[in-house]
């Protein structure tokens, strides 16, 4: 297909697509859900800032209409619908295009990602998300409704910062859950590693690789926004992007720490299994060593020779049993002194 062909690539949500619009200023606020996309033009007032949020990407025509309504390039719309994009930031002059990965914990504590695409214009922000999970931006909506903080007084670039900050803060929630799993697994590896321990280690290592792939490019994205390369980001907002950049570096450092811990944990697990095998082999070797002289004695007196003087002794049988017992006890004492047991 030619470039710019709109095809949805990703998991299809069963939820109905919702488009919400918030128009706000220092002293004004209006929020509504829209059914007809031509209503967007009403909210593009130069004296206020507008936030259009689309939850759900499987209706291609709605994405196309919204893109045409706001003059978004077809290649950008193509990237929005392809939910397997790498996090990135692109400057198109009149607007910035930002792709992020939002993390969430699925079933069995498996990590899943949901792509969030942001369009930053002079006085508007458009967010596209797959809508697979609950609304991650609910706290920001509450701040806008209540007029708390500086979010209403500052422009659209500060709103983009707030959305990115909410996504990055959610990384810490996911990492905290994974950290608890790693702590429990570490105690299990040291105390009593089982058959499923190695599978859990490999599952967590795959999760770390998955996290690194989703988070590592984010540092470059935030770094480009922090360097103030675009005229759409005011100098007063750069300091906030710098704070998000620090959080991103902290997330990456935590992921690398967890990866090192899991690699060391795997070495400890293999050592524990090897030591357990050595202990079993040592016990079996001791038992076999003790039975070697006993087998020799039993084999000696099991030979069918006619002239064996001990065969005619009255106390020969108990004497041989006592000799075997003494040999066994003597060997055990010797092993103890050598610290082989």
Residue 330, both tokens: 């003597």
Alpha helices in 90-196 (DSSP H): 138-146, 156-191
Residue 9 DSSP class = B
Residue count (the chain): 341
Residue 185, both tokens: 């697994």
**Bridge partner list, 97:** 90, 119
pTM of the model: 0.76
CA distance 17 to 148: 29
- DSSP structure string for 17-71: PEEEEEEE-SS-EEEEE-SSGGGGGGG--TTSEEEEEEE----HHHHHHHHHHHT
Domain spans in the chain, listed from the N-terminal domain onward: 18-270, 275-337
* pLDDT number for residue 109: 63
For the chain, 341 residues long, give each residue's pLDDT as a single digit of tens: 667 667 667 676 667 778 888 888 877 778 787 766 665 555 455 677 888 888 877 777 788 887 877 778 888 888 888 888 888 888 888 888 888 888 877 666 678 888 888 988 888 888 888 776 777 888 888 888 887 767 878 888 888 888 998 888 888 888 888 888 888 887 877 777 777 777 887 888 888 888 888 888 888 888 888 776 677 888 888 888 888 888 888 888 888 888 888 888 787 777 777 777 777 888 888 888 888 888 888 887 777 767 777 777 778 788 888 888 888 888 888 888 877 76
Q: Under CATH, to which class is 18-270 assigned?
A: alpha beta
CA distance 108 to 155: 41
Residue 319, both tokens: 């004497």
- DSSP structure string for 11-22: PPP-SPPEEEEE
Q: What is the 3-state composition of the chain as percent helix, strand, coil, each rounded to the nearest 5?
A: 55, 15, 30
For 275-337, CATH gives 1.20.58.340
* Maximal C-alpha separation, the chain: 121
CA distance 110 to 163: 24
Apex 233 CA angle, 244 and 174, nearest 5: 25
Helix (H) or strand (E) holding 317: helix 316-337
Residue 259, both tokens: 């990866």
Residue 132 DSSP class = -
């Amino acid at each position: 297909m030619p470039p710019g062909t709109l095809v949805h690539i990703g998991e299809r949500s069963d939820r109905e697509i919702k488009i919400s619009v918030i128009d706000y200023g220092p002293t004004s606020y209006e929020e509504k859900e829209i059914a007809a996309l031509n209503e967007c033009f009403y909210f593009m007032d130069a004296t206020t800032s507008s936030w259009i949020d689309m939850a759900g990407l499987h209706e291609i025509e709605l994405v196309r209409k919204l893109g045409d309504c706001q003059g978004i390039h077809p290649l950008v719309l193509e990237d929005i619908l392809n939910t397997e994009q790498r996090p990135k930031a692109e400057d198109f002059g009149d607007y910035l295009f930002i792709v992020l990965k939002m993390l969430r914990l699925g079933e069995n504590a498996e990590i899943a990602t949901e792509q969030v695409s942001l369009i930053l214009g002079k006085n508007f922000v458009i967010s596209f998300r797959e809508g697979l999970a609950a609304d991650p931006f609910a706290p920001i909506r509450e701040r806008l409704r209540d007029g708390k903080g500086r979010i209403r007084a500052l422009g659209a670039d500060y709103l983009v910062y707030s959305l990115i900050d909410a996504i990055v803060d959610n990384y810490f929630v996911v990492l905290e859950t994974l950290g608890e799993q790693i702590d429990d697994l570490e105690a299990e590896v040291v105390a009593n590693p089982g058959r499923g321990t190695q599978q859990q280690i490999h599952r967590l290592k795959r999760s770390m690789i998955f996290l690194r792939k989703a988070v590592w490019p984010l540092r470059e994205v935030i770094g480009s926004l922090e360097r103030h390369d675009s005229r759409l980001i005011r100098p007063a907002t750069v300091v906030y992007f710098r704070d998000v950049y620090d959080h991103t570096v902290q997330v990456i450092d935590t992921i690398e720490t967890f990866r090192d811990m899991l690699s060391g944990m795997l070495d400890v697990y293999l050592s524990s299994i090897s030591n357990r095998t050595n202990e079993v082999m040592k016990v079996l070797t001791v038992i076999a060593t003790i039975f070697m002289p006993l087998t020799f004695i039993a084999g000696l007196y099991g030979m069918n020779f006619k002239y064996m003087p001990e065969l005619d002794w009255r106390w020969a049988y108990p004497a041989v049993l006592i000799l075997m017992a003494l040999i066994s006890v003597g060997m055990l004492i010797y092993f103890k002194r050598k610290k082989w047991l």
